Each structure stands twice: as structure tokens, then as C-alpha cells.
Structure 1
Amino acid sequence: MVTITLPDGYGYVLGAVVSTFFVSTFLGSRMTPFRKAAKIPYPYEYASYEQVQTASPASSKAMYQFNCAQRAHQNFNENHPTAVGGMLITGLRYPMAAAVLGAVWSVNRVVYAIGYTNGSEGGKGRYYGILWMLAHYLLVLGAAKSAWDVSMA
């Protein structure tokens, strides 16, 4: 039987992980007003290029913002498992670093999503929250280092 002793401060790591669940809920619930404004019915995931191009300016803008909100949410979903795994594994050896990086990741995912839907051309507002990506890469590297440390112990 294997016994894992969690380091002091690992509760902060778990708090950072739980924060990602709230971010996910926020991003998912944020889709409803954008979907209604764009008049995109379920089960359609996005407004098509043709729909956006042929719509009135107001409808086109609403569809564009819906697509941006949807893309921000999908991007979160694509990166969430790796971020959570990175936090949990990094936290085994470096709990405070994992917790801080996890908090940076969560906060910047919200900033990214809000910026993406601010109406800027090409969704460039998402760059305001780009620190999520640095935190993400550092969590992946931290997980690799923690795995190395544990395997070499």
C-alpha cells in the first residue's frame, strides 16, 4: 500500500483547483445572453461565417460576440484538464507555487473571456488575460519537475 503525505499548504492548491470550477460555471452561464442576442438556437455551436456576413450590422455584431464568447469557453474547456492536473501534481512538491499559478490561471481565464467579447476586431481583447498561458506552461513544467523529484526520491 502506498501512502501519500500531502505537504503543508496543499489546501491552497485544492482551493485554486476549486476556483477553476467556478470559472467554468461563470463562462458557461455567460453564454446564454450572447446566444439570445445572436439568435443562434441550440444545438448550433457557432454562427456560421455566412450568417455573420449576410446579417444586418447589429445582428452581425451580436453573432460575432457570441462566437467570441463561445470560443473563449471552448478554449477554457480545452485547457482545463491540463491546468487542474498541473496544479495537483505541482502542488505535491511546490504547493505555494501551484496555488499562486492556479489563482493566476483562473483570474486570467475570466479576463481573457471578458476581453474576447469586448467587441474588438479579431477578438484582440483576449490578450489582456494572456497571463493564463504563462501560468499554464509553468504548471505543466512544475508537474514534470514534481514527477521527476518524486520518481528520483
Structure 2
Amino acid sequence: MATITIDPNYGYVLLAATSTFLLNTIHTFNTGKYRKAAKVDYPSAYAPSSRTDNEAHQFNCAQRAHANFIENQPSAVGALLLAGIRFPIISAALGAAWTVSRYVYMVGYSQGGPGGKGRYKGIYFWLFQFGLIGLAGFNGVAMVLGW
């Protein structure tokens, strides 16, 4: 049976994970701002495709940015917590960079534009997410092989 000793630096991992929860709240306020400007009532998740005005487009982009965040956050946080067991500082840095790039993604995507291309400003979150997944996987292999 393996024994896991948690490095005191794991606190940075927990802070990086917490930053994602705060960003989710920021997403909520951001989407609400665009919802109000577009006058899209609840429970509608998106403005109808028949609306071609900029406010409706920006709301749909903000809503999609939030949905994409929610789709990726569990994997990113899970990988962060697992990777941080052995690599707390590197993992915390990747986790913090993931949160910052997701914020940039949210801001860029919410600006609208043709095809929502503003999201490309923060698309590099994938690098940080895959880095965390790779480190988490490495930890598993290292435990199995006794490294």
C-alpha cells in the first residue's frame, strides 16, 4: 500500500483550484450582464437564432464561454489536484495560468465578433489543461511502477 505525504506547498494547488470557483462566479456575473443587455428572459439559455442584433450575439457568446468553462473545469481541477500531489508548485502554476487564460477566453468570446473568434485570445488554456492531465497521468504511472 502506498503512503502519500502531502507537501505543504500543496496549499498553492488548493488556491489554484479555488481560483476556478471564483472564475465561475465571474462568468455568472458576466453572462448576466450580457443577458440583461440583450433582454433575454429566463429560462431561455440563449437568444433565439432569429435575433441578429449584436446584443443577442454577445449574450450567446458569453453564455457559450460559460458553458465551455463548465465543461472543462472538472477535468482541469481534477487533474490539478492529482498532479499537485507530486508536483505542487508546477501544478499550481499551471492551474493559475489555466484560470487566467480562461478569463481571457471569457472576455474575448464575450466581445462577440464574427464566429465568436474573440475566444482565440485565451485558447491557450488547452496547453495548461493538457499539461495538468499529463502530470496527473505521470503520477499514476510512477505509483504503479514504484518510481
- Where on the TM-score scale, by shorter chain, does this alignment land: which range? over 0.9
Q: How far off is 1:122 after superposition? A: 1.1
1:78 is the counterpart of 2:71: yes
Q: How far off is 1:151 after superposition? A: 2.3
1:145 is the counterpart of 2:126: no
54, 62, 68: which one aligns with 1:61: 54
Q: How far off is 1:146 after superposition? A: 1.0
Cα distance in 1 between the residues matched to 2:130 and 2:66: 19
Coordinate RMSD, CA, aligned: 1.4
Q: So what's the TM-score if we normalise by structure 1?
A: 0.90
1:57 matched residue in structure 2:
none
Cα distance in 1 between the residues matched to 2:134 and 2:20: 19
Secondary structure of the structure 2 residue equivalent to 1:49: coil
1:31 matched residue in structure 2:
31
Secondary structure of the structure 2 residue equivalent to 1:4: coil
Task: Please identify runs of 4+ aligned residues in structure 1 that moved more than 6 A.
Answer: none
Which amino acid letter does the alignment assign opposite residue 141 of structure 2?
Answer: W
Q: Deviations over 1:87-117 (max 9, x none)?
A: 0000111111110100010001110000011
1:102 matched residue in structure 2:
95
Which amino acid letter does the alignment assign opposite residue 40 of structure 1?
Answer: V
Q: Deviations over 1:95-145 (max 9, x none)?
A: 111101000100011100000112321111111111211101111111111
Unaligned 5+ runs, structure 1: 54-59
Unaligned 5+ runs, structure 2: none
1:45 is the counterpart of 2:41: no
**Is the 1:40–1:46 contact (alpha carbons within 8 Å) kept by the matching residues of 2?**
yes
Count of residues paired in the alignment = 146
